[in-house]
Amino acid sequence: MEKLVLGGVEFSSRLFLGTGKFSCNEMMRKAIIASGTNMVTLAMKRVDLNNSEDEMLHHVLADGIRLLPNTSGVRNADEAVFAAQMSREAFGTNWLKLEIHPDPRYLLPDSVETLKATEKLAKMGFIVLPYCQADPVLCRQLEEAGAAAVMPLAAPIGTNRGLQTKDFIRIIIEQAGVPVVVDAGLGAPSHAAEAMEMGASACLVNTAIAVAEDPVAMAEAFAMAVKAGRMAYEAGVAAPVVSGEAVASSPLTSFLND
């Protein structure tokens, strides 16, 4: 299977994992291992002076696991740039999942601010992976602005609704000169497999794994689905017969009668 190269780095797994919503850090750690991922997201928050919490990073840091801090919580490009710089200072990485979603109800990304921030951050040397609308025109613009990948949403964050934006993601994949990572809304391994069969470079999954009854088994199931989907894409998925009429796969010559 062809290895994914993103931001100049080779990834053996095409499944990226979000670390939100796990019941505890230990469960998160086990799911990360089971998924075989090489990259996990994390968010940032202000330190609470009155509470010392279990540090999630201690459960994440491991050889072969790259951190992808996100900018969740910012409302515009300026705030995203500040968050990115804080992230680089805190975690020592210039990789960034850029997410700007000012509307808390649907958490849909603000395309205008995302494009502005991508341009600024790429110039500042960040490896920018913008979470974005499944908009082929926007994805081209993000690429031109310096994005290392584009991460169009399959469906709104945490909805598990699968590839609602399938037709547009197909166009994005066809046009992209950078990896296309399908992010958000993938609720079942079959959704991830479908995205990969279409030619997506990778999938980023969080909720579907974290809230599963058995997150560790689900992480493994997603890993297999992503791998199967990619293998199928590289093997060449058979085209559907437009007419819907059967095409025999066994010889129709009679052998019982003349």
Partner 1 sequence: MQIEINDQKVICDDGLSLTEVLRSQNVQTDYVAVAVDLTIVPKTEWDGFVVRDGSKIIIIKAVQGG
Contact status: 85 vs partner 1 (CB under 8 A): yes
Say whether residue 27 binds partner 1 (CB under 8 A): no
> In the set 25, 76, 111, 190, which binds partner 1 (CB under 8 A)?
25
3-state SS of 143-182 is HHCCCCCEEEECCCCCCCCCCCCHHHHHHHHHHCCCCEEE
Distances (CA, A) of 95 to 42, 147, 235: 11, 11, 31
Q: Does 142 bind partner 1 (CB under 8 A)?
A: no
Contact with partner 1 (CB under 8 A) among 35, 165, 201, 207: 207
Shortest spacing between CB 158 and partner 1, in angstroms: 8
Q: Binding residue for partner 1 (CB under 8 A) from 11, 15, 22, 181?
A: 22
Asked if 45 is part of the footprint of partner 1 (rule: CB under 8 A), the reply reads yes
Q: Which residue number, 5 or 86, has a Cβ lying nearer to partner 1? A: 86
Q: Distance (Å, rounded) from C-alpha 113 to C-alpha 98?
A: 10
User: Does 157 sit near partner 1 (CB under 8 A)?
Assistant: yes
Q: Which residues have CB under 8 Å from 213's CB, separation 6+?
A: none
The end-to-end CA distance of the chain, in Å, is 48
Among candidate residues 30, 97, 166, 227, the one labeled active-site is 97
Is residue 94 a contact point for partner 1 (CB under 8 A)? Answer: no
Q: In angstroms, what CA-CA distances link 27 with 42, 184, 222?
A: 15, 21, 16
Instruction: With beta carbons less than 8 A apart as the criterion, state whether 196 and 4 touch.
Output: no
Q: Which residues contact 3 (CB under 8 A, 6 or more apart)?
A: 10, 11, 12
| Tokens found for residue 197 | 């069969």
Selected binder of partner 1 within 19, 37, 38, 114 (CB under 8 A): 19
Binding of residue 38 to partner 1 (CB under 8 A)? no
Tokens found for residue 26? 């230990």
Residue in 7, 30, 33, 43 binding partner 1, rule: CB under 8 A: 43
Instruction: Establish whether 227 is a catalytic residue.
Output: no
For partner 1 (CB under 8 A), the number of binding residues is 37
- Chain residues binding partner 1 by CB under 8 A are 18-22, 25, 28, 41-49, 52, 55-57, 60, 69-70, 72, 82, 85-87, 89-91, 157-158, 204, 206-207, 210
Give the catalytic positions in this structure.
97
